[in-house]
């Protein structure tokens, strides 16, 4: 089992150093990041027969943002057994991207000593509530408050939904036992989607957890604002479709009114009574069932399709629809660039950075594609060789390649993120305009046609009744 000397800083900028026995350099980075420390330098000492570290000697970094990358030591399998004292002190990090002796991706479960947590379903959780929850979590953690204390505090707040409060209390118990915040989040997939869990895990590994939560909160807020405009579109569609079962109902009332006129009814009360009686008779049957079904779909459809079982269908549609798909691609590109930039600055190796950033993508389609691209990646491969061209164009990939040559990789990813954010904003503005176009189309277009059909039937019945009565 090799030993590693490390140098790191905490969230307040205080430096610390020490020595740790671990199966790989990735294990050292993972354990220190769970303690809120950011790696500044790391050196593998080798076996016990290796020369002792010279006091005051500068540690050789594996990867440092803004500097040329240094070839890391050979990464040993992270499945090796860690000595008992170290295992007891080690926080849990599930689904870490570690390496075999061949340098390929391998996704591990929770470390020995901590069992895998089972997922719990809670039901539909609104994006607005998740946005507010993540924003508060990021703000509290930025103040230096521990995750367990933060979760206990949130579980007592009345402004948070009851299901989220129960989840917060449960998550506080998990983090107190040594599980990471990302592991605790993964227990509740309907509150914290996989992309949110991946973003949290990347933030823990890179030492920028509060920024990761705030960034994810802003991304969810942007998505919610776009969908909020389409709530009016959904209302316009509902108000139009609900008129279709009413066509035969209004026709039945008109025929009853015509019969009352031909029958010689002279009192207005009798005419009105026969009209509504004909209206109700025509309503019974399939028109009433149609009204109930359409209303149920409008009211409860989002809660049903919002469940985790429909997630692949939703994400596939988001990735393939023309304009929405473009926004999804830009959002994925932005998320990937954000995390790769922060992880490169934190000193995480390229192959592990790519795996962590890929797991933070919100859309399942693109997330799975990136995770598949990460698996064959080797330790000595630069990120520019595995960047997906359908998310990041060739000219931007060349920026990353230049950054890898000059030690400015993080600046290249910052530029890609800014470009993706600008394009995403333009697409979102166009989507908002398109939502109101659809509202106008249904309210003043299709609804007007249906209303004209109803009026034509009414006047046709009235014309026949008047002609027959004369």
At which of 107, 128, 152 does a domain end?
Answer: 107
212 touches 240 (CB < 8 A): no
Together in a domain, 94 and 227: no
Q: Which two tokens stand for residue 1?
A: 């089992």
* Closest to 26 in 3D by CA, of 89, 101, 84: 101
In the beta sheet, which residues pair with residue 46?
3
210 part of a folded domain: no
Burial grade of 358 (CB within 10 A; 0-12, 13-18, 19 or more):
buried
Query: Do 89 and 231 share a domain, yes or no?
Result: no
How far CA 149 is from CA of 156, 178, 210, 270, in Å, comes to 11, 13, 15, 72
- pLDDT grade for 13, boundaries at 50, 70 and 90: low
Among residues of the chain, what percentage have pLDDT more than 90? 33
Distance, CA of 197 to CA of 80 (rounded, Å): 26
Tell which residue, 292, 257, 282, has the closest CA to residue 272: 257
Instruction: Establish if 188 belongs to a structural domain.
Output: no
Distances (CA, A) of 361 to 262, 325, 335: 69, 14, 6
For residue 3, pLDDT beyond 90: no
| Same structural domain, 248 and 103 | no
Confidence category of residue 82, pLDDT binned at 50, 70, 90: very low
Q: Which range in 82-96, 326-340, 439-453 is most confidently predicted, on average pLDDT?
A: 326-340
Q: What is the pLDDT of residue 25?
A: 74
**Count of the separate structural domains present in the chain:** 2
Structural domain contains residue 327 = yes
Q: Are residues 249 and 378 in the same domain?
A: yes
Q: In the chain, how long is the greatest CA-to-CA distance? A: 118
Task: Write down the pLDDT at residue 218.
Answer: 94
Structure confidence by residue, pLDDT tens digits, 282-307: 888 888 999 999 999 998 988 888 88
Residue 215 within any structural domain of the chain: no
Structure tokens of 268?
Answer: 């207005």
Domain, as residue range, for 48: 3-107
Which of the listed residues 77, 107, 137 is the one where a domain comes to its end?
Answer: 107
Tell me, yes or no, whether 245 lies in a domain: yes
Structure tokens at 163: 């299901």
Mean pLDDT, the chain, rounded, equals 79
Nearest to 225 by CA among 425, 443, 442, 437: 425
**Is it the case that residue 262 has pLDDT exceeding 50?**
yes
178-225: per-residue pLDDT in tens?
889 999 999 999 999 999 999 999 999 999 999 999 999 999 999 999
Percent of the chain at pLDDT > 70 equals 81
Backbone angles phi, psi at 50, to 5 degrees: -70, 155
Listed residue (377, 348, 303, 376) closest to 123, CA to CA: 303
Task: Specify the pTM.
Answer: 0.70
Is 138 contained in some domain? Answer: no
**CA atoms of 418 and 334, how far apart (whole Å):** 8
> Are 243 and 384 found together in one domain?
yes
Q: Which three-class secondary structure string do you get for the chain?
A: CCEEEEEEECCCCCEEEEEEECCCHHHHHHHHHHCCCEEEEEEEEECCCCCCCCCCCCCCCCCCCCCCCCCCCCCCCCCCCCCHHHHHHCCCCCCCEEECCCCCEEECCCCCCCCCCCCCCCCCCCHHHHHHHHHHHHHHHHCCCCHHHHHHHHCCCCCCCHHHHHHHHHHHHHHHCCCCHHHHHHCCCCCCCHHHHHHHHHHHHHCCHHHHHHHHHHHHHHHHHHHHHHHHHHHHHHHHHCCCCHHHHHHHHHHHHHHHHHCCCCCHHHHHHHHHHHHHHHHCCHHHHHHHHHHHHHHHHHHHHCCHHHHHHHHHHHHHCHHHHHHHHHHHHHHHHHHHHHHHHCCCCHHHHHHHHHCCCCCHHHHHHHHHHHCCCCCCCCHHHCCCCCCCCHHHHHHHHHHHHHCCHHHHHHHHHHHHHHHHHHHHHHHHHHHHHHHHHHHHHHHHHHHHHHHHHHHHHHHHHHHHHC
Burial pattern 48-75, b for ≥16 Cβ within 10 A else e, equals eeeeeeeeeeebebbbbbeeebeebbeb
Residues 370, 388 contacting (CB under 8 angstroms): yes
Measured distance CA(164)–CA(158) in Å, rounded? 11
Residue 408 in this model has a pLDDT that exceeds 50: yes
pLDDT of residue 433: 92
380 touches 73 (CB < 8 A): no
**pLDDT band at residue 465 using 50, 70 and 90 as cut-offs:** low
Choosing from 67, 89, 107, the residue where a domain stops is 107
Q: Give domain status of residue 168, yes or no.
A: no
Residues 260 and 395 in one domain: yes
Distance CA 358, CA 332 (A): 9
Residue 124 in this model has a pLDDT that exceeds 90: no
Residue found by looking up tokens 């590109």 in the block: 333
Asked if the structure places residue 195 within a domain, the reply is no
């Amino acid at each position: 089992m090799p030993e590693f000397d490390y140098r790191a800083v905490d969230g307040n900028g205080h430096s610390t150093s020490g020595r740790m026995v671990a199966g790989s350099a990735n294990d050292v980075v993972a354990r220190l990041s769970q303690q809120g420390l950011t790696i500044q330098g790391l050196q593998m000492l080798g076996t016990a027969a290796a020369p002792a570290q010279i006091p005051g000697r500068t540690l050789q970094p594996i990867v440092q943002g803004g500097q040329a990358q240094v070839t890391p030591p050979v990464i040993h399998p992270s499945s090796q057994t860690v000595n008992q004292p170290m295992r007891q002190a080690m926080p849990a990090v599930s689904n870490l991207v570690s390496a075999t002796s061949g340098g390929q991706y391998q996704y591990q479960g929770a470390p020995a000593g901590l069992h895998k947590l089972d997922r719990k379903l809670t039901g539909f959780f609104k994006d607005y509530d998740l946005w507010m929850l993540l924003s508060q979590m990021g703000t509290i953690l930025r103040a230096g408050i521990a995750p367990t204390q933060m979760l206990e505090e949130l579980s007592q707040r009345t402004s948070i939904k009851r299901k989220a409060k129960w989840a917060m209390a449960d998550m506080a118990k998990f983090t107190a036992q040594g599980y990471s915040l990302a592991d605790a989040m993964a227990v509740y997939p309907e509150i914290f989607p996989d992309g949110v869990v991946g973003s949290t895990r990347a933030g823990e590994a890179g030492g920028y957890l509060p920024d990761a939560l705030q960034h994810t909160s802003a991304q969810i807020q942007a998505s919610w604002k776009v969908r909020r405009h389409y709530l009016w579109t959904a209302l316009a569609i509902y108000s139009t479709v609900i008129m279709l079962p009413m066509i035969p109902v209004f026709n039945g009332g008109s025929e009853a009114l015509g019969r009352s006129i031909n029958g010689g009814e002279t009192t207005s009360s009798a005419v009105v009574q026969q009209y509504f009686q004909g209206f109700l008779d025509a309503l019974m049957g399939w028109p009433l069932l149609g009204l109930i079904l359409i209303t149920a779909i409008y009211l409860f459809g989002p809660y049903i399709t919002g469940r985790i079982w429909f997630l692949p269908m939703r994400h596939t549609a988001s990735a393939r629809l023309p304009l929405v798909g473009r926004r999804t691609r830009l959002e994925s590109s932005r998320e990937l660039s954000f995390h790769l930039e922060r992880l490169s600055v934190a000193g995480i190796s390229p192959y592990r950075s790519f795996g962590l950033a890929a797991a933070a993508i919100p859309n399942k389609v693109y997330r799975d594609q990136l995770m598949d691209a990460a698996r064959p990646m080797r330790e000595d491969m630069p990120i520019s060789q595995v960047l997906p061209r359908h998310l990041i164009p060739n000219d931007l990939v060349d920026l990353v390649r230049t950054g890898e040559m000059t030690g400015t990789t993080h600046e290249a990813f910052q530029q890609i993120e800014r470009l993706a954010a600008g394009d995403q904003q333009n697409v979102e503005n166009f989507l908002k305009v398109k939502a109101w176009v659809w509202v106008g189309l249904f309210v003043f277009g299709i609804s007007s046609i249906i209303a004209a059909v109803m009026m034509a039937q009414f006047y046709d019945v009235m014309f026949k009744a008047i002609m027959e009565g004369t």
